[in-house]
Amino acid sequence: MQAEVKSLNEECGIFGVWGTPDAAKLTYIGLFALQHRGQEGAGITVNEDGQLRTKRGFGLLTDVFDSPNAVADMTGTAAIGHVRYSTAGSNLLENIQPLPFNFSDTQFALAHNGNLTNAISIRKNLEDRGAIYHSSSDSENLMHLIRLSRANNLDDQMKEALNTIKGGFAYLVITKDRLYAALDPNGFRPLVVGQLPNGAYVVCSETCALDAVGATFKFDVQPGQLIKIDDSGITIDQYTTDTQLSICSMEFIYFARPDSDIYGVNVHSARKRMGEMLAQEQPAPDADMVIGVPNSSLSAAMGYAEASGLPYEMGLVKNQYSARTFIEPTQELREQGVNMKLSAVKGVVRGKNVVLVDDSIVRGTTSRRIVKLLRDAGAASVHLRIASPPLRYPCFYGIDIQHVRELIAANKTIEEMREMFGCDSLGFLSVQSLIDAVDLQTDAPNKGLCVAYFDGKYPTPLYDYEAEYDRDQAQLQKMR
Amino acid sequence: MQAEVKSLNEECGIFGVWGTPDAAKLTYIGLFALQHRGQEGAGITVNEDGQLRTKRGFGLLTDVFDSPNAVADMTGTAAIGHVRYSTAGSNLLENIQPLPFNFSDTQFALAHNGNLTNAISIRKNLEDRGAIYHSSSDSENLMHLIRLSRANNLDDQMKEALNTIKGGFAYLVITKDRLYAALDPNGFRPLVVGQLPNGAYVVCSETCALDAVGATFKFDVQPGQLIKIDDSGITIDQYTTDTQLSICSMEFIYFARPDSDIYGVNVHSARKRMGEMLAQEQPAPDADMVIGVPNSSLSAAMGYAEASGLPYEMGLVKNQYSARTFIEPTQELREQGVNMKLSAVKGVVRGKNVVLVDDSIVRGTTSRRIVKLLRDAGAASVHLRIASPPLRYPCFYGIDIQHVRELIAANKTIEEMREMFGCDSLGFLSVQSLIDAVDLQTDAPNKGLCVAYFDGKYPTPLYDYEAEYDRDQAQLQKMR
Amino acid sequence: MQAEVKSLNEECGIFGVWGTPDAAKLTYIGLFALQHRGQEGAGITVNEDGQLRTKRGFGLLTDVFDSPNAVADMTGTAAIGHVRYSTAGSNLLENIQPLPFNFSDTQFALAHNGNLTNAISIRKNLEDRGAIYHSSSDSENLMHLIRLSRANNLDDQMKEALNTIKGGFAYLVITKDRLYAALDPNGFRPLVVGQLPNGAYVVCSETCALDAVGATFKFDVQPGQLIKIDDSGITIDQYTTDTQLSICSMEFIYFARPDSDIYGVNVHSARKRMGEMLAQEQPAPDADMVIGVPNSSLSAAMGYAEASGLPYEMGLVKNQYSARTFIEPTQELREQGVNMKLSAVKGVVRGKNVVLVDDSIVRGTTSRRIVKLLRDAGAASVHLRIASPPLRYPCFYGIDIQHVRELIAANKTIEEMREMFGCDSLGFLSVQSLIDAVDLQTDAPNKGLCVAYFDGKYPTPLYDYEAEYDRDQAQLQKMR
Amino acid sequence: MQAEVKSLNEECGIFGVWGTPDAAKLTYIGLFALQHRGQEGAGITVNEDGQLRTKRGFGLLTDVFDSPNAVADMTGTAAIGHVRYSTAGSNLLENIQPLPFNFSDTQFALAHNGNLTNAISIRKNLEDRGAIYHSSSDSENLMHLIRLSRANNLDDQMKEALNTIKGGFAYLVITKDRLYAALDPNGFRPLVVGQLPNGAYVVCSETCALDAVGATFKFDVQPGQLIKIDDSGITIDQYTTDTQLSICSMEFIYFARPDSDIYGVNVHSARKRMGEMLAQEQPAPDADMVIGVPNSSLSAAMGYAEASGLPYEMGLVKNQYSARTFIEPTQELREQGVNMKLSAVKGVVRGKNVVLVDDSIVRGTTSRRIVKLLRDAGAASVHLRIASPPLRYPCFYGIDIQHVRELIAANKTIEEMREMFGCDSLGFLSVQSLIDAVDLQTDAPNKGLCVAYFDGKYPTPLYDYEAEYDRDQAQLQKMR
């Protein structure tokens, strides 16, 4: 629908494999390891003897593939898959990926992680020329550009199309006889290649999915690369050489799984170093213990504890079934102390001065709730430490941080936030320490990290979002 | 069916509340906090103006109550609920609890955690006298005994019935005008009473459910007690005084949630102490780090690390969506290294000497798999430490450890197990240290703990299981 | 629930087979031919090697067995099945039949068509002695009586139980090694025995189900008979000889399928004769054509046309998909002429004087609607003829005519009804002509027909309904 | 998928309404009256304040709209809907209509009854120019042609597109501010306009849907017309004047509902006249009665009976629940006499000489089965009379008669067929009598009827099907 064409930024996970039996099953298992990257939709396209077949739906993988046969029936030797996080408005089945395309004489399917910054312009332009889009997703643009290309072969059509789109993207495109993988010129999103024991190539968002399927890591896909995998092997090409690494720092801070490595850096270890540096920059000398918000902040909490010499404790327990429930406590019940997702361990925190480590703060509502939870459980004091810098600017490359007015740190001072959260002290990690904690081995700006949501310095033009960004900043000025 | 009448041992979670709006919703929330106690069935009975209504089904709470209205539609001011773990054979809807009973002039529903040891005898006896059972569950016996009692009032009928059944049981019984809670004479299963801010009483398996619904802990139900809650308040009575505390030690070791307190002892803290004592009894002097099997062994691992002075690390990551998936890797894929539930963090364990702490060992297959996972990830050595004694005998009071021949420790020596698991060393906690780590403040034998699965000394006669136990022991002799 | 125990009269269809492969599939096919007897629930119990397995649920057969495997998976060589019509209140899964009963050492399942008149007394009596009922259905009483019988063998226990229950019943009872069929002493409900080409015996409500499964009709079960079918063949016995045929005349008028034969009389032919006699008793000399209300009144309309010499026409068309739809027109839409189930054929009735034949009138609302439909389509006049006598009294033997105050003919004169329906003339068949049209070859009163809903003369005592009947009659007196 | 692009002929029902509350509900009710035109898919697009929303799915209307709210939630004042019959291969959700199309600045949805004869050429041509199709349906071509048109306004774009497509089509197109209806230049498919009491216009396949929603018939849409309905009323235009009526005769013979009128002719009455003329052309002087195959042949049977003076009888009963069942008898059971859909009424046909009237014969398998059914029920002789001419040629305009080799009459003589069916005599209606029985008031060839499946004279070129037709005819030559 019209209103939905605009806000299609998303974070997602992708997985592809070429040349092995059980391709769909391996894709399911790989996506299962990437489920944290998207829980609102999932799909798999399988290639069986050159015919593509797609199954996709809303919810978790286990909602879409809800019986043992759901995957087993998808026989074939190549496949791509997608798990999707989406903003509220765009809940159309047509937007769930892989997006399948059937032509009189051929078929395609594509899966995309990222956000295009010139999607609206391209779509309007092509629609004026008669194009009909299936979805309201920015991802679909690539297919139209490929088909409209006048280049002589599919490789060149891909390159022409990839050079037209802008923004953050890791793309998988499967056809009857090949699998393409492509990364944007800044490498905003992670993408890795591995190999199964039988020699088949796998390409996916994170190394944890390689581990899950028993594949060996081969290399990180580089900015501007176009990889082609077919029955004759793998071909690595550049569709552009105008590249500069600027990988999303939120992948290291929050998004990726701790057991994944990105450009050679283990995510858990990077987070632990963030915690260590945080302990140095923002000490809490009188505290009795360090606890982390489960599960994403545990690594940073361990690092803080180790660097500060304070004991690391289990002061919060997360309900392991909370991935989904249709029933939520009402506001009234919540105020009576009802809590379904997180519990404070009274026996641990009662009477203690607690350092609470969290990975990041977006709106601040969760922080306030957790601080209250600990106080209600008897904590004597709560010192909140955030293992990343304050989030102040939107992301246009694939993470759902769209509206500055929703970012608490864009609107309030540290002291205002501390008061709002009800904690005894509050401290953030500095941008430089974040960069040093990740410590990518590159001489690109910010050591190859995108930190634009912290400092507002975007590594590319914003294209269709330029006006929106200006409007948001103006609104923010007024609010201050 | 016939074949199913026999094997009805189970571990479960129960929750009841009397005298508050939103009773079914609170019960849902309470059960959600007890979901770890049973994932194969769930149900709620609500009392609305004296009329009982039950909804129950297979699977997780979110499977049974699969829309926001599923609970909201169950209006009423009192309710009981149940989450169920069951053995494979007894998958009948009729066995899912609460068990509802409708009479011409009244209604009952009951929920049970535990296992009766004379269920088969009672059922045969009553069926010979014309009784018709709804379910193949041992839990149903109580209802028949209540109805057959010639006592003058329901209180006395309850007492008569409770004195007839044997074994482990925490029972909730709801009627049009009251809620009963009863505990077996040994208190094998935990049961606590709390109070909501509005004064309504809550009774449930663990204190974590009290926290979830915002209730304050009042007391642990004692062995042999019969509690009655109705509109006039709470009444505490003993249906027998021939009692002796013998609470299941597996609740502390593995089953209960770390944030729960049982008879005043916090479960996380008890596990941490088990880990500390394990470090003393079974040190691993040359190790570089301690890691726990997520999530149940993390507390013990922290304790081991703290006592040994070794760093505590995140060497294993559990897929947080693995609570359920219909698709499992085939044996073939598994041998190729496919793993959907657990990942080793290569960046952490590569080249390191690792102490791996696990809470307990049943069949040993999981231990072997995890050791291999760590070795494949590059661990230099793996020292497996178990924070409980070797499991060698069956449980007849409500935990599904039925067949001795399935217990690896009943069949093999420590060295044989070490070899089978492929670890460099293996050590268990002693029974005495377990007892000391929990440290219940009572002078009952084993400080009030049941440790029969470790030492074979059952605190009660085994009734219907006597013959089965002898058969199993004889078979075991032959296997050795 | 309490409130539901009382109003459990119902009309249903039953089917059983013993000693053939595909027993469940044949039962499905037989029930499919009996679906008109009940659309609100269905179930099948299959006997596989002495083990009984039951599947049952709400709705049509196709709702309960909603995949090709749903029946195919029920392998076994004997089965019973049930389709159920129920009053609004008793929508509990537990009431759907066959009712399964599992004992420690045996199993039973039973299916029942009819209504017991002393069900409430029996249940209260047995509950006082400790019995627990599964359902709120009157059908369950038989099982309790069988189990409580002190007779030496199952045959005698059956007989004792059958002599205790009163009212209308055709029962099927399956066990691990036999199938029983029993009919009440008045034979209120139809029940026939047939034989498959392979020699296996079938017992079911109507001969149309014999035809559907390819069985040959053998005999009508007689009042007071107890039939036993097992691997050694069929045994016919009488549990009582105090019998007198009084089969429900509504089976001939409306309920049974036109292709069925009951006690040797074809239902379509009987209806046609009712139409012929109606034409003689209630002629419509100036009419242009005869039309019937589809589908149940078409036979009578053909008879009326043939006897009167008027052409038989298709003036009303029934939507063949109307068996079920969740969406109904609102009252507002209905008044605007919206009609989803029945259409008048304007091209046929416009400007014509129409004889409209209907089989019976209960509340009169449908008659009013159809007369209006024909007038709106342009009919010049509508002469309504009812091929049965006015319904004035309740049925207690299995048809849902409970409350006299709902019967329009109990409250109004013929002229008042004519005015209410808006037709030009109105005429009913006499009771004697009904009896003559069916013309059963027996010297029992009313030639073996029960016509109590027409004349108030019940062939048995009413037991638990005595008081209700008196109350209804008194209320009726007041309304007049 | 590739293979499916080709065989997309279909028969369907369409319904649209503009300018009334409850538009979706009326569309549901209208489609419910058209359900006989397609049972394999259904959908509704509603226009609420200029926003289009579509719900569609597989199966009957009651499968797609499977709860009371499913339609009620679709609020809006205009809507179109579709019920779909499809050939086996094309079971893709994307093919279920209405087909929705979302553009950056507007929305469309379209519903189509018929089959385009140049769909494959158009699609290949447009795909070569970059077009991407959503579905494998021929219906989608119209949307692409509209969008590619360079005409100045939507009216002219519609006309340009309609002049490009060939074959049989009745199209509904809804946008944010209008509803278009268009009919092909030969008027192969029926399409009528009516008006609700509140003045809103309705356009649909048959007048029975007008009756169902309480609308008054206004006019039949004429060949080559483009109707536009918007808030200012109705506009009737011709997109071409090169037209000649050639409406599908199978609509009169079999497809349309008996209560519908097409170009002023009532379908039931036309069928009755076919039966009358059949009695004259193909008498059966020694017969005792006439019976029709329910439900489609009853009108013709009444006509045959009336013209021949033989009694009209109910010799076959159709199971009214057979619209759908997942469970079918196996071939083995079928041979044992199992029959789930049709029953012979033994009491009626036993020993009688029967004229059996059927509307048409396609493959002949049904005829053989029904003749056998009557013989097994004891009929002395069976004289089969077909109220239409022998089907010998494929249809390319929207009825699923694709392969000549499947048409029994294309392959066998009358005598060969009689022998195959096992009947005593066999007679068909002549083409001329068919034309005279329908008797449309027009001087177009065949009085405005398409009878090409009988005589092979197609009223238009066959375009993409030319080659297929030649191949089929050649194959047929060989078979003879």
Give the 3-state secondary structure of residue D171: strand
Backbone φ and ψ of D207, nearest 5°: -70, -20
Residue B103 to residue C143, Cβ atoms within 8 A: no
Query: Which residue range(s) make up the domain with B396?
Result: 267-319+341-445+463-479
User: Cβ contacts of residue C441 below 8 Å, gap of 6+?
Assistant: C263, C264
C75 touching D, CB under 8 A? no
Given this model, what pLDDT does residue D86 score? 65
Q: Which of D12, D208, D395, D450 is catalytic?
A: D12
Q: Are residues C43 and C177 in the same domain?
A: yes
- Assess whether pLDDT exceeds 80 at residue A214: yes
Q: Please state, in angstroms and as integers, the Cα–Cα distance from residue A357 to each residue in A264, A293, B115, C7, C403, following that order.
A: 25, 6, 43, 63, 71
CATH code of residue C136: 3.60.20.10
- Assess whether pLDDT exceeds 80 at residue C209: yes
pLDDT digit string, tens, across residues B389-406: 999 999 999 887 767 878
Q: Are residues C225 and C275 in the same domain?
A: no
Q: Are residues D238 and D369 in the same domain?
A: no
User: Cβ contacts of residue D347 below 8 Å, gap of 6+?
Assistant: C259, C261, C266, C268, C269
Given this model, what pLDDT does residue C336 score? 77
Average pLDDT of span D175-179: 98
- On chain D, the residues whose CB falls within 8 A of the CB of C319 are 32-33, 35
CA D130 to chain centroid, in Å, comes to 34
- Assess whether pLDDT exceeds 60 at residue C383: yes
Residue B259 to residue A325, Cβ atoms within 8 A: no
Q: Is residue B121 part of a domain?
A: yes
* Cα dihedral value C473, C474, C475, C477, nearest 10: 90
pLDDT band for position C326 (cuts 50, 70, 90): low
pLDDT band for position C5 (cuts 50, 70, 90): very low
- Assess whether pLDDT exceeds 50 at residue A4: no
Average pLDDT of span A401-417: 87
Q: Is residue A369 part of a domain?
A: yes
Average pLDDT of span A368-376: 95
Q: Is residue B134 part of a domain?
A: yes
Given this model, what pLDDT does residue D193 score? 98
Q: Are residues D157 and D200 in the same domain?
A: yes
Spatial contact of B45 and B79, defined as CB atoms under 8 Å apart:
yes
- ipTM score: 0.90
Amino acid at B375: R
Among D261, D343, D369, D372, most C C-beta atoms within 10 A, so best to mutate, is D343
CB count, 10 Å around CB of A120? 18
User: Cβ contacts of residue A365 below 8 Å, gap of 6+?
Assistant: none
A350 touching B, CB under 8 A? no
pLDDT digit string, tens, across residues B138-152: 999 999 999 999 999
Given this model, what pLDDT does residue C325 score? 64
Given this model, what pLDDT does residue A8 score? 29
Q: Are residues B201 and B281 in the same domain?
A: no
CA D383 to chain centroid, in Å, comes to 28
Residue C131 to residue B134, Cβ atoms within 8 A: no
The shortest CB-CB distance from A147 to any of D106, D132, D143 is to: D132
Q: Which of residues 160-179 of B touch A (CB under 8 A)?
A: none
pLDDT digit string, tens, across residues B161-194: 999 999 999 999 999 999 999 999 999 999 999 9
Given this model, what pLDDT does residue B9 score? 37
User: Cβ contacts of residue D95 below 8 Å, gap of 6+?
Assistant: D8, D41, D84, D86, D135, D136, D137
pLDDT band for position C90 (cuts 50, 70, 90): low
Given this model, what pLDDT does residue A88 score? 40
pLDDT digit string, tens, across residues A289-310: 999 999 889 999 999 999 999 9
The DSSP element (H or E) to which A46 belongs, if any, is: strand A41-48
CATH code of residue C349: 3.40.50.2020
Q: Which residue(s) pair with C179 in the sheet?
A: C174, C229
Given this model, what pLDDT does residue B89 score? 42
Q: Are residues A272 and A204 in the same domain?
A: no
Given this model, what pLDDT does residue D132 score? 97
- Assess whether pLDDT exceeds 70 at residue A42: yes
pLDDT band for position A326 (cuts 50, 70, 90): low
Six token digits for residue B124: 């045969």
Q: Is residue B181 part of a domain?
A: yes
Q: Which residue(s) pair with D226 in the sheet?
A: D182, D237
Q: What percent of chain A has pLDDT over 70?
A: 96
End-to-end distance of chain A based on CA atoms, in angstroms? 35
- Assess whether pLDDT exceeds 80 at residue D2: no
- Assess whether pLDDT exceeds 80 at residue D441: yes
Given this model, what pLDDT does residue D464 score? 93
* Mean pLDDT estimate for chain C: 92
- The larger pLDDT score, comparing residue C87 to residue C390, is at C390
Range name among B32-36, D198-202, D361-365 with the lowest pLDDT average: D361-365
User: Scanning every residue of chain C, which has its alpha carbon at the shortest distance from the alpha carbon of D208?
Assistant: C343
pLDDT digit string, tens, across residues C51-88: 999 999 999 999 999 888 999 999 999 999 999 986 54
pLDDT digit string, tens, across residues D49-83: 999 999 999 999 999 998 889 999 999 999 999 99
Give the 3-state secondary structure of residue D53: strand
- On chain B, the residues whose CB falls within 8 A of the CB of C132 are 101, 103, 131-132, 134, 143-144, 147
Six token digits for residue D142: 């119209």
Q: Are residues B105 and B222 in the same domain?
A: yes
- The larger pLDDT score, comparing residue A123 to residue A333, is at A123
Q: Is residue C29 part of a domain?
A: yes
Q: Which residue(s) pair with A101 in the sheet?
A: A108
Instruction: Give which of A217, D319, B400 is closest to D328, Cα–Cα.
Output: D319
Q: How many domains does chain C have?
A: 2
- Percent of chain D as helix, strand, coil, to the nearest 5: 35, 25, 40
pLDDT digit string, tens, across residues B340-363: 889 999 989 999 999 999 999 998
Q: Are residues B112 and B229 in the same domain?
A: yes
Residue B132 to residue C143, Cβ atoms within 8 A: yes
The conformation of residue B406, written as its DSSP 8-state character, comes to: G
A2 touching D, CB under 8 A? yes
Q: Please state, in angstroms and as integers, the Cα–Cα distance from residue D389 to each residue in A9, A372, C84, D249, D432, following that order.
A: 62, 84, 45, 11, 9
Chain B neighbours (≥3 Cβ pairs under 8 A) are A, C
pLDDT band for position B323 (cuts 50, 70, 90): low
Q: What percent of chain C has pLDDT over 90?
A: 81
Choose the final residue of a domain: C189, C223, C243: C243
Range name among A151-160, A249-258, C325-334, D442-451 with the lowest pLDDT average: C325-334
pLDDT digit string, tens, across residues A428-454: 999 999 999 999 999 999 999 999 999
C107 touching B, CB under 8 A? yes
The shortest CB-CB distance from B1 to any of C2, C107, C130 is to: C107
Average pLDDT of span D95-121: 95
Q: Are residues C129 and C191 in the same domain?
A: yes
Q: Are residues D13 and D157 in the same domain?
A: yes
Given this model, what pLDDT does residue D3 score? 28
Choose the final residue of a domain: C228, C243, C258: C243
Cis before B100? omega within 30: no
Distance from C-alpha of A251 to C-alpha of A257, rounded to nearest angstrom: 9
The shortest CB-CB distance from B323 to any of A261, A321, A343 is to: A321
The shortest CB-CB distance from A104 to any of D101, D127, D130 is to: D127
- Residue written as token pair 């005792």: D288
Q: Is residue A248 part of a domain?
A: no
pLDDT band for position D437 (cuts 50, 70, 90): very high
Backbone φ and ψ of B24, nearest 5°: -70, -40
What is the length of chain A? Answer: 480
Given this model, what pLDDT does residue D323 score? 61
Instruction: Give which of B204, B211, B174 is closest to B189, Cα–Cα.
Output: B204
Q: Is residue D326 part of a domain?
A: no
Q: Are residues A161 and A279 in the same domain?
A: no
The number of CA neighbours under 13 Å toward the Cβ of B55 is 21
- Assess whether pLDDT exceeds 50 at residue D143: yes
- Residue written as token pair 């492969």: C21
B271 touching A, CB under 8 A? no
- Residue written as token pair 């008890």: B270
Distance from C-alpha of C190 to C-alpha of C270, rounded to nearest angstrom: 15
Choose the final residue of a domain: D210, D243, D276: D243
Q: Are residues B238 and B271 in the same domain?
A: no
Q: Is residue C30 part of a domain?
A: yes
Given this model, what pLDDT does residue B314 score? 95
Residues of A identified as active-site: 12
A102 touching D, CB under 8 A? yes
